[in-house]
Structure 1
Amino acid sequence: MIEIELPLRLVSVANVRECWQQKAARTKAHRRAAIAVPKHAVPCVVTITRIGPRMLDGDNLQSACKGLRDGIADRLGVDDRDPAVEWRYTQEIAKPKRYAVRVRIESEAA
């Protein structure tokens, strides 16, 4: 099992009003941040936990994680839609207020 915490702020991209260039820069930064995630053999289960001051609803949580998910898939050497990788999303409220992301990769359960 691998677990790492990254200093990223995952925001609800569905509700953000911004220029396409800002969105592209954030997505690129999230994808690049995945370089810190160690490689792992597939099949595996990847759990992305958003840590922030408030909860997002389910679809916003998943869309906020998209750039990071793509970067992690790159590190694993697979496409993010490959069925050999199961993607899970969770979130935690941080007190005091802070933002981060925890990535956990485990071998697939038997």
Structure 2
Amino acid sequence: MKEHHQVKNRRLKKQNRSSDTEEVKRLENLVNRLDEITTKSRMKDMAYHFTKPSEVIKTNLIAGVARGVGLTVGTGLFLAILLFILSQFETMPIIGEYIGDLLNVVEDERE
């Protein structure tokens, strides 16, 4: 009976090892495919940059303008909200005077 269990245990160990090696091989194949895909895409990107410099310049110019406009609009909105919040504190007794002066300076600079 004991020998039967030992033989059964050995068979199970061999089966586990074979399934582990199959899983490792599958994982290696997946990693190799991912490596191929990323390498090919890099080559495609490099070829695009070297063959069409005018397209690259156009793309970068548009991206730079979009960033600049976005930054300007975002800063304007942020400052408008900040000044609105500060104007709500103008009626407070202690810091209201300082905020009122600050808002007056901002209004004078706008004109």
TM-score range normalised by the length of the shorter chain: under 0.3
Q: With the length of structure 1 as denominator, give the TM-score of the two structures.
A: 0.21
Q: Which has the higher helix share?
A: 2
Tell me the TM-score normalized by structure 2.
0.21
Structure with greater strand share of residues:
1
Bigger RCO (CA 8 Å, 6+ sep) = 1
Larger radius of gyration: 2
